[in-house]
Chains A and B, each alone.
Chain A
Amino acid sequence: MTHARPRRLMGAIASAFLATVLSACGGSDSAPTQVRVTPPRDTASTIPPPFSLLTHLGQGAVPERYTAEVWVRGTTAYTTTWGTRAGSRGNAVKIWDVSANQPQLVDNVFVANATTTGDVQVSDDGSIMLVAIESNPNGGVAIYSMANPRAPQLLTRTTGGEMQYGVHTAELARVNGVLYAFCSIDPANGVPARLVVLDLSTPSAPRTVWSQQMGTPFIHDVFVRDGLLFTAEWTDGVGIWDIGAQGGSVAAPRLLGRARTVGGQVHNVWWVHDPVTQSKKYLLVGQEGPGSIGSSSIGDVHIVDISNLAAPVEVAVYSVPGAGAHNFSVDEAQGFAYVAYYNGGVRVLDVRGDLGSCAPAQKTADGRCDLTSMSRERATYLRNDRVPVYVWGVHWSASGLFASDMLNGLWRLAPAAR
């Protein structure tokens, strides 16, 4: 994509560089800026509008470990670590002061017997932090008190049981006032993948309320909202479960439907609520194809219309040649989805409006709308050609936009704006 527009790209890089310099000149305490992007032109044009480069604001370097997920609350960011880098294991959760553009490392929390801490989240009330732990047989979750958000205190670290095979992701969600952890458990030889839901009413003593074999062969993530649970079940697609919306419960979910996306390999899900259009009809589904971490990846973003929960249908797709999607974060007020795209950096998609209607020239060979042809790709971020990136996660919130780069650490970027 960048090769097709070298002149525009050079201009954009120059703009980004200038913005970076200006930002730096403004001092480290300057507020995060926003990048203005061209207003959506929806479906009419087959010529992509000039897209922007997200502005780099700062970096928290992590040279000794590979960085995994990122979560931000207020002026504190948390990044997890992955695998083994020159002997240093992914057993650390790094705590950053992000009150300024340049993230400052405050502390490390080390998780016992972890080789990867692949997921981290702070509860909506800020009281606890949940960390997912791999690998078999030391998998589990660690739960921390966040009385001091810069100094988490361990409440419990689970061992053994169904989670010992490795917790790939752990999502915190509140259903009917109760805080739960939805844990996607890795398969092992002879042990199928499963979803385990923990009741965290007493965070120091999590209680399993539902455990279900799930995913062929993997379950990698879930998304919970408004009493619905969406499960990313790889070859089995997306499961849509009622956990409170229509009489179901977390302890006894009811399967409402299943979305199959082209190519399967369903890795993660985001149910978009658009406060402007009031639309709740689209699921963003991440596909994680096979790749070599650090250098290559493959996989698309699939748009699924769930107007009928019992019969979801994929209506659109977004592809980046030579790169694959990983985790999402959506700025719903602006209608922008930030997609971690591994070696493709960060991609920003305009998800406002009708994503399932497009001109014939904007359709793929199998009839889905192509978001790129629809000019829905609004911005991108690659540090520069000389610094390879491998972006695992993105996190947008009122605190700003952050990206976790496995190779380089934590990036702070300027969010896109209309």
Chain B
Amino acid sequence: MATGLLTTANPALLGRRYTEGYLTQPNLMGDATVGPVRFTGTLNFEGYTLRRGELNAGIYGEGYVDRRHPHTLVHEAMLAVATPTRAGFRATVAGGKGFTPYGTDDPMMRPFVKYPVNHHHAQILERVQLLGAVQFARGDRSITVEQGWFNGDEPVGPFTGPQWSRVGDSRSTRLTVAPHPSLEWQASTAFVRSPGLTQGGAFDHRQLSSSLRYDVPSKRYALFEVARTDESLGAQRVFRFTSALVESSIQHKGWALSARAERTDRPESARLLDLFRIPNGHVDFQLIGITRWSIGTVQLAAPRTGIPRLRGTHFTPFVEVARATARALRTPAVFVPAEFYGSDTQWSLSLGARVHAGTMRRRMGRYVLPAGIRSSSFPSAHTHQ
């Protein structure tokens, strides 16, 4: 899959409009299941197509700010082994690199092309991990508990590996309850050691996430999530960042109308010469402010169509509009959004088309083999095309 995209953002910073084109989210996904063993793999090529990052008001992480960072080449490579199901119970052990059992689905598998600001509050990804899970299922209802141990360090670039010595220094737990095939509630918690400095010593993160997801494939989809990240030194909480997000999509005759509202707090760091970059790694324990982002996004996607002479390949054009406002939570602030951007309100218009070939996953980062007939983790038709 990949998305060709043209984005214009006004103002992107310093009162200036930026208009840029990208090939974003280029991924090669492969899944294989042999009996009780499943491999889940994703190669992400944004390191080649998105080195400068993608204009995305409010987003931050891995040294990028107001531009979404490229993901690592090996986005997922997870091998899972499950026991047979007995009396509705099934246990799974998985290992490799991928999404930790924390939070909600990756934005890449959700309706919008622009990521929410809360990406780093609501997902912990691209970690080397060992995961254990137990699922109890009855019919199409299930309860799942997952526990993961992983390396706390965030990737520092699309082609860099993890700190192997740190594998196991962080952990997360997720409880997922699915009382109905279309309904799912999850609550999860994570402790992430020093994600901001690979050699350790930076803030530790204590994260909480809870969400309610409603999904009728190819018809209706809704997600409500809240997330919180506490940055701490030892047991002392220093900063807290909260997030609330609601998004929904409805499809009719192949047209998909989607809307998202988000309010998320972002830590601010001093910018580098490239004003879309911040130091990748701490120089002390100071922030230059906390900005509360309130963003509304609407997307209209046309029915997908086949591409002539390319069997099994589909093309989905869309238009997406976002309005973002930024407000400093602490004053006097050294980072003053209205001064920096030239306005406290930013608009973004994106025109693009998703192209995908083959069978798309519905979910991402779910490695538990199902105990019952519910198959939310299995590859199937993409929900949001």
Contacts and interface: CB of A to CB of B under 8 A. Distances in A.
Interface of A: 66, 82-87, 89, 113, 115-116, 134-136, 138, 166, 168, 186-192, 216-218, 220, 234-235, 265, 267, 288-296, 388, 390, 406-407
A385 B310 CA distance: 70
Contact of A294 (B239, B280, B288): B288
A216 B203 CA distance: 13
* A116, A192, A295, A406: residue with the most chain B Cβ atoms closer than 10 Å: A295
Given A84-B340, A296-B330, A190 B198 contact: yes
Contacts of B333: 292, 294-295
Contact of B285 (A168, A186, A289, A295): A289
Contact of B288 (A87, A187, A217, A292): A292
Given A113-B273, A136-B279, A187-B197, A85 B339 contact: yes
B339 A189 contact: no
A289 B197 CA distance: 17
Interface string B277-304: 0011111111111100000000000000
Nearest to B233: A290
Contact of A138 (B13, B201, B273): B273
Chain B contact residues, majority secondary structure:
loop
Given A115-B271, A292-B290, A168 B156 contact: no
A191 B198 CA distance: 9
B381 interface: no
A188 B156 CA distance: 10
A218 B284 contact: yes
21 contacts: A83-B270, A85-B334, A86-B336, A86-B340, A87-B14, A113-B273, A115-B270, A115-B272, A188-B280, A189-B197, A190-B198, A191-B199, A191-B281, A218-B283, A288-B286, A289-B285, A290-B231, A292-B290, A292-B330, A294-B330, A295-B332
Contacts of A187: 197, 199, 201, 281-283
B156 A288 contact: no
Chain A contact residues, majority secondary structure:
loop
Contacts of B203: 290
B281 A189 contact: yes
Given A292-B289, A293-B286, A189 B270 contact: no
Nearest to A82: B270
B32 interface: no
B271 A217 contact: no
Contacts of A191: 199, 281
B206 to A, nearest CB: 15
Interface residues of B, number: 41
Interface string B256-285: 000000000000001111010001111111
A191 B284 CA distance: 14
Nearest to B63: A189
A116 to B, nearest CB: 7
A283 B116 CA distance: 49
Given A189-B156, A294-B334, A390-B332, A288 B285 contact: yes
A406 B199 contact: no
B242 to A, nearest CB: 16
B265 to A, nearest CB: 12
Given A115-B273, A217-B200, A294 B332 contact: yes
Contacts of A186: 279, 281, 283
Contact of B273 (A89, A235, A265, A289): A89
B283 to A, nearest CB: 4
Contacts of A290: 203, 231, 233, 238-239, 285-287
A406 B334 CA distance: 9
A134 B273 CA distance: 10
Nearest to B199: A192
A187 B280 CA distance: 10
Contacts of A291: 285-287
Given A166-B283, A217-B200, A388 B273 contact: no
B275 A84 contact: yes
B335 to A, nearest CB: 8
Nearest to A389: B332
Contacts of B202: 217
A216 B156 contact: no
Nearest to A291: B286
Given A85-B334, A166-B283, A189-B199, 13 more contacts: A85-B339, A135-B272, A187-B282, A188-B281, A216-B201, A217-B200, A217-B282, A218-B284, A290-B203, A290-B285, A292-B287, A292-B333, A407-B332
B288 A293 contact: yes
Contacts of B14: 86-87
A136 B288 CA distance: 18
B113 to A, nearest CB: 28
Contacts of A192: 199
A168 B283 contact: yes
Contacts of B271: 83-84, 115
Nearest to A185: B283
